[in-house]
A = this chain, B = another copy of it.
Amino acid sequence: MRTHKCGELTKQHTGQTVELCGWVHRRRDHGGVIFIDLRDRTGLVQVVFDPDVHEAFSLAEHVRSEYVLKVKGSVRGRPEGTINPNMGTGEIEVLVSEMVVLNESETPPFPVESEIEVNEELRLRYRYIDLRRFAMQEKMKVRRDVARVLRNFLDDHEFFEIETPYLTKATPEGARDYIVPSRTHENAFFALPQSPQLYKQILMVAGMDRYYQIVRCFRDEDLRADRQPEFTQLDVETSFMDEDEIMHIMEEMIRQLFQKVIGVNLGAHFPRMTYQEAISKYGIDRPDLRIPLELVDIAEDMKNVDFKVFSAPANDPQGRVVAMRLPKGGDLSRKEIDDLTKFVGIYGAKGLAYIKVNDLSAGVDGLQSPIVKFAPAEVWDSVLAKTGAQNGDLIFFGADKASIVNEAMGALRVKLGHDLGLLEGEWKPVWVVDFPMFAWDEKSRRYAAIHHPFTAPKCSIEELQANPGEALSRAYDLVLNGTEVGGGSIRINRPAMQRAVFEILGIKEDEAREKFGFLLDALKYGAPPHGGLAFGLDRLVMLMTGSTSIRDVIAFPKTQSAACPLVSAPAVVPEEQLRELGIKLVKQPGKEKA
Show the binding face of A for B, using Cβ within 8 Å: 1-2, 21, 23, 39-41, 66-68, 70, 102-106, 108, 126-132, 137, 140-141, 143-144, 147-148, 151, 155, 160-170, 174-175, 178-192, 198-199, 202-203, 205-209, 216, 218, 220-223, 229-230, 232, 239-242, 245, 493-494, 517-518, 521-522, 524-529, 554-556, 558, 561-564, 566-574, 577-587, 589, 592
Contacts and interface: CB of A to CB of B under 8 A. Distances in A.
A23 B574 CA distance: 53
Contacts of A199: 555-556
B584 A169 contact: no
B188 A570 contact: yes
21 contacts: A2-B240, A23-B207, A68-B526, A68-B527, A102-B529, A104-B526, A106-B525, A129-B525, A140-B162, A144-B162, A162-B555, A165-B564, A165-B569, A168-B567, A168-B569, A174-B574, A179-B180, A179-B581, A180-B180, A183-B220, A583-B584
Contact of A241 (B1, B23, B168, B232): B1
A548 to B, nearest CB: 20
B564 A184 contact: no
Nearest to A65: B526
Number of copies of chain A assembled together: 2
Contacts of A573: 170, 179, 188-189
B577 A179 contact: yes
A131 B206 contact: yes
Contact of A206 (B132, B190, B221, B569): B132
Contacts of A160: 41, 140-141, 144
A79 B163 CA distance: 43
Given A169-B571, A229-B182, A526 B161 contact: no
Contact of A105 (B108, B148, B525, B577): B525
A571 B198 CA distance: 17
Contacts of A494: 103
Contacts of A186: 587
B202 A127 contact: yes
A527 B570 contact: no
Contact of A166 (B216, B529, B572): B216
A578 B202 CA distance: 29
Contact of A185 (B164, B242, B526, B570): B570
A189 B143 CA distance: 29
A440 B102 CA distance: 32
Query: For A104, A144, A174, A245, which residue has the most chain B Cβ atoms within 10 angstroms?
Result: A144
Given A41-B207, A207-B132, A178 B182 contact: yes
Contacts of A41: 160, 207-209
Nearest to A555: B162
B529 A103 contact: yes
Given A1-B529, A207-B132, A168 B564 contact: yes
A169 B220 contact: no
Contact of A66 (B221, B525, B554): B525
A254 B550 CA distance: 36
Contacts of A207: 23, 39-41, 131-132, 137
Given A1-B242, A160-B144, A163-B216, A571 B103 contact: no
Contacts of A574: 174
The 9 residue pairs across chains A and B that have the minimum distance between CB atoms: A105-B526, A131-B206, A188-B570, A169-B569, A66-B526, A41-B209, A128-B205, A128-B206, A169-B567
A572 B188 contact: yes
B185 A562 contact: yes
A525 to B, nearest CB: 5
